[in-house]
Chain A
Amino acid sequence: MAVMTYREALNMALREEMRRDGRVFVIGEEVGLYEGAYKVTQGLLKEFGPRRVVDTPICESGFTGVGIGAAMVGLRPVVEMMTFNFAIIALDQIVNTAAKLHYMSGGQFNVPIVIRGPGGPAAQLAAQHSQSMETYFYHVPGLKVVRPTTPMDAKGLLKSSIRDDNPVIFIESETLYPVKGEVPEDPDFVIPLGKAVVRREGKDVTVIAYMGMMYRAMEVAEDLAKEGLSVELVDPRTLRPMDTETIIGSVRKTHRLVVVEAGAGFAGMGSEIASFVTEQAFDDLDAPVERVTGANAPMPYARNLEKLKTPSKDKIAAAVRRVCGANGG
């Protein structure tokens, strides 16, 4: 184990996989000479050269298509979105080609591509640069969607994503890049896609969160412990395929559920989780599922309004108390 930042963990994953497999290459805007808008690709051009670290023009639809074309005939591209906000410019390529090609061709073509970059709420970057993008992708059959919360997950999940033979949407976070944590240095260390993790054991209520919301929920859990409430924290890590077993297992234990998500709630991750928990574990629930979501507005620029847009610790704590109080707890 070494202590490193989330950014360094991603860089290590890319470097190890590029060393391991000559077909892996990185492509995107300013990933080479500039070493990435957030320096995730630092040093890669120097080690692997311009054939495997490809700087592109500013054309997300174009270079995503290039990645897909290369993946169809033998390479394993890692496409960097400078920010995931721009991935919607490439949405047609991702949804209509990457996600469907294996299916449409009756299994003739694989598209082993990773499309990665930062997304979700950032610090005063405002409406077009600070938004939760995963909803655009996890609805689409044929895509896998990953949101790694810790440096260890960032490394282990990125490596699994690169080794996967299917298109993987891998959304990081600007605010988490400097976060430090323990990361295994073993080049064989991977975390399988589709496996959730219980980050904190508890017995009174399950709280599901990921990325920045998980860190916030963690603080709430510590605070509520002082009030005698025992919160179990579950991080899905991969949103699709979703590890429903771990989530259902936790709900069967605690009988109460709160889902926290940064994005606007309508048809969001909380809706989906509440839905399958109700379908599969209705009789285990002692209270209605609560969702704590972002407000139904684009991200405002002003600091005070920005705070109001995303779920606060107070809102999360209030929801937890409500579900626990609903049954006299």
Chain B
Amino acid sequence: MYAGMLRVRLFEERVRELFAGGRIPGFLHTSVGQEAVAVGVAAALRPDDYVLSTHRGHGHLVAKGGSLRGLMAELYGKANGICHGKGGTMHIADASVGYLGANGVLAAGCVLAPGVGLSIKHRKSGQVVVTFFGDGAANRGPFHEGVNMAALWKLPVVFVCENNRWASTTAHALSAAGGSIAARAAGYGIPGEATDGNDVLAVWEAVTRAAERARRGDGPSLVEAHTVRWVGHFEGDPQAYRPRTEAAEGRQRDPIARLEAALREQHRLDDAHAARIRDGVIAEIDDAVAHAEGSPLPQPHDALTDLFAHYPWRD
């Protein structure tokens, strides 16, 4: 989990640098500071379990085991990106690791997840689907519609709310009545658990409980992971809406530093081991960047392919 979080952190930081340097285009939402949620969730899942993600989804895919080469090439908009350069940061999907897609529309995953759950139940495959969403998305209708149906039909879904205190740039207190997202679970008769989203073990434990319950056929759960977004809503966000102290406070609760301290205290990590892990991750990211830089752009005719499955219709 330590290496996993470091992988997410260093990947996101590299992506930020590349964006600042003009190598990566578009709107970029990174998850620096929120790594414990992605990695804690992924560690609680089987490789064949599904994940539905958000606009801030790189970390979820990296944690689920997605290829850094494919992801980086996609962020560059290159032909050999996971989605052939047609998805981009907010719409990346990787079927090979059960990553059913980032989604640029908040809370969309909350209604797709019960459908995935229906299919799991129909196929009796024993899988679980996790849908990530933010505290802001919890105020949208699809969140309530999705939780209601998943609870009604006891579907194997885990709803994971990453509460980073900001609905884009609007404070949680100004957007969510009642404050707690986890408490909303009670209205639907399912377990709702708030957890420290900067403690990877706490996230892992909460999601493990929820996933076991789902696999038993007892239905969905809601886990609210409280975390801190170190960076702006998007890259380049001046963040005039929030106190500068917040990111500093987040850094004091750095999920990676916390786990590292605990591991060192238990003598399970020393300087040499930590350096080896870091060097390995950096080499992997360097390789992904080199791969993306050296990859071709999609061919012009690719703009009109993949519109329909099987049927090459005239339009």
Contact = CB atoms under 8 A, between A and B. Distances in A.
Interface string A59-84: 10111111111111111010000000
Contacts of B272: none
A125 B50 CA distance: 43
Given A62-B146, A66-B149, A93-B111, A74 B119 contact: yes
B116 A104 contact: no
Nearest to A192: B311
Nearest to A66: B115
Interface in B277-315: 305-311, 313-315
A70 B82 contact: no
Contacts of B108: 65, 92-93, 96-97
Contacts of A69: 52, 100, 111-119
User: Of A63, A108, A164, A165, which is in contact with the most chain B CB atoms at under 10 Å from its CB?
Assistant: A108
Contact of B94 (A61, A71, A108, A144): A108
Contact of A57 (B81, B105, B145, B313): B145
A110 interface: yes
Nearest 6 A-B pairs (CB), nearest first? A69-B115, A65-B111, A62-B145, A69-B112, A106-B84, A106-B83
- The bracket for how many chain A residues form the interface is 35 or more
B216 to A, nearest CB: 19
A51 interface: yes
20 contacts: A57-B152, A59-B145, A59-B148, A59-B149, A61-B141, A66-B115, A68-B112, A69-B116, A69-B118, A70-B115, A70-B119, A101-B93, A106-B82, A106-B83, A106-B84, A141-B315, A164-B311, A165-B311, A166-B310, A194-B313
B86 interface: yes
B314 A241 contact: yes
A81 to B, nearest CB: 15
A166 B148 CA distance: 27
A67 B122 CA distance: 13
Contacts of A102: 306-309
Centre residue among A67, A72, A73 by max chain B CB count within 10 A: A73
A105 B83 CA distance: 5
B263 interface: no
Contacts of A54: 118
Contact of B311 (A65, A66, A96, A166): A166
Interface residues of B, number: 49
B93 A66 contact: no
A240 B308 CA distance: 12
Contacts of B148: 57, 59, 62
Given A92-B108, A109-B95, A70 B307 contact: no
Contact of B86 (A62, A65, A106, A240): A106
B142 interface: yes
